[in-house]
Amino acid sequence: MGTDKTLVAIELGSSSIRGIIGQRRADGTLLVLGYERENTPDCVRKGVIFNIDKTVQAISNIIKRIEERQKVYVNKVYVGISGQSLRTVKNEVIRNFDVKVSISDEIVDGLMQDNCARIYDDCEILDVAPQEFRVGSRMTNEPVGVMADHIEGYYQNVIARTVLSENIKRCFQALGKEIAGFYISPLLLANYLLTDIEKRSGCALVDLGADTTTVAVYEKNILRHLVVIPLGGNNITADIASALKMEMEEAEQLKRSFGSAYYDEEDSDSTRMINISNGRTVEEKRLRDIIEARQQEILENVKHQISVFSEQLLAGVIFTGAAANIKNLENAFATYAHFDKQIKTRFNSPTPEYTTSLKLDPQANNIATLVAMLRRANVECTSEKPLEPTLDFDAPQTDPLAASQPAAGEGVVTKTEPKPADVPDEPEDVKLEGTDDEEDKPKQPGFFSKFGKKMGQILSGLVEES
């Protein structure tokens, strides 16, 4: 019988960092205990860390609040990866044989290894979604056991810029916290929100975030396409703030209160006035035009990404994310993208598998991805107090200062400062005055000793010549 496990997960979103703590009970149920959030517009943009120090501070604040409120010490953390550079790239691996052979697991594994060896400039492979195999002249998902002299493996490699994971590792190393595991947030969210029928029939999950919009396309239970569009709800807010000369906070509130992704001309009152700051008013029509223009741009980009698969999306499009809370989103997508299949909005799993007493604003705190991470996590992340290192007296002793420095190859670039041009290199065998081991070295001969030795050599030479 299992035991309860306390799990901690952190997601670096497009404009904020969010943390969650939950308890996996022995019976398999999940209880969400706490949720924390830090807005990070000045250190994380579009899911990419660009200021390490501020990101470390933000993560530290989240972990400290979790520890204080739950009375635990966090040792390990599961981390979700997203970001603008995240995308899928198709790859094909081919094997030819002199004679027909029975395709074995070893051959299939070899194809995967060759695929994973593919090098991408400044990017790394984070995950691989196998597609189908062409064995001989036919396509199949199960090539093992088929006789053929030719096999082709098709893959969707999920890649991102190498610096994405490197910077995340630096942040947690600075905090002294171990990363229990990495998860690709969009894929985890898709597996959590979508049903098997939807993924098998064909669907697109569109996650409308603050600064990015992530599109994941599934068909026949296979990931077919993943891309991050660098546009989100904050772009609409920024347009309102710029056009109406107001702060982002007020523009966000205005968008939430009166915003709509699509307006029906017959139902809207174009003469209605809305009160804004400093005793000013704005026509509803003007606000509508600002919101619709940017919303249309975002949705047309989504349509462009799924257009190749539109005929296969029998289960339609499912919208999620904080920015998907805007009214009339489904009507807007059907109109702007000319999409005639089913359109839904979903924020939680069709079959929720967790309980919580937290009161969350769905427009600001979409915890679906974090809950998905807790459902996959399986390593205890907390203790009652900090874990103390175990001393091994048989182990060779190391310099603690040297041990604290990053090892070579850990992604930290070291720089050797050049010496000034007018300062000559110091000889290795020269010992400066006043050092502790000065007495240990043999003393150098003095002037008279050198003079006597030299005269002896001269006289000896004269005797030999005579």
403-413 pLDDT tens trace:
333 333 333 33
Cα–Cα distance measured from residue 141 to residue 136, given in angstroms and rounded to the nearest whole number: 13
Q: Does residue 295 surpass a pLDDT of 50?
A: yes
Query: Can you name the CATH fold of 5-84+164-190+352-383?
Result: Nucleotidyltransferase; domain 5 (3.30.420)
SS3 call for 464: helix
Average pLDDT of the segment spanning 327-331: 93
Q: How far is CA 233 from the centre of its chain?
A: 20
Are 5-84+164-190+352-383 and 196-345 equal in CATH topology?
yes
User: How many C-alpha atoms does 164 have within 13 Å on its Cβ side?
Assistant: 29
Contact call for residues 202 and 218 (beta carbons, < 8 A): yes
Q: Does residue 28 surpass a pLDDT of 90?
A: no
Cα end-to-end distance, the chain, whole Å: 105
Q: How far is CA 445 from the centre of its chain?
A: 67
Quickly list H helices, 315-429: 329-336, 368-376, 400-403
Q: Does residue 395 surpass a pLDDT of 60?
A: no
DSSP structure string for 5-67 = EEEEEEEE-SSEEEEEEEEE-TTS-EEEEEEEEEE-TTTEETTEE--HHHHHHHHHHHHHHHH
Domain ranges of the chain: 5-84+164-190+352-383, 87-161, 196-345
Among 88-97, 251-260, 263-272, 386-395, the minimum mean pLDDT is found in 386-395
pLDDT band at 313 (very low <50, low <70, confident <90, very high): very high
pTM of the model: 0.78
CATH of 196-345, one of 3.30.420.40, 3.10.20.600, 3.40.50.300, 3.30.470.10: 3.30.420.40
The predicted structure's pLDDT at residue 438 = 42
Contact call for residues 115 and 155 (beta carbons, < 8 A): yes
Cα–Cα distance measured from residue 199 to residue 217, given in angstroms and rounded to the nearest whole number: 8
Tokens 């149920």 appear where? 29
Query: Which two three-digit tokens encode residue 48?
Result: 């990419």
pLDDT averaged over every residue in the chain: 83
- Encoded amino acid at 300, one letter: E
Region 87-161: CATH code: 3.30.1490.110
The predicted structure's pLDDT at residue 446 = 52
What does the pLDDT look like over 236-290, one tens digit per residue? 999 999 999 999 999 999 999 888 998 876 655 667 888 888 889 998 889 989 9
Contact call for residues 152 and 96 (beta carbons, < 8 A): no
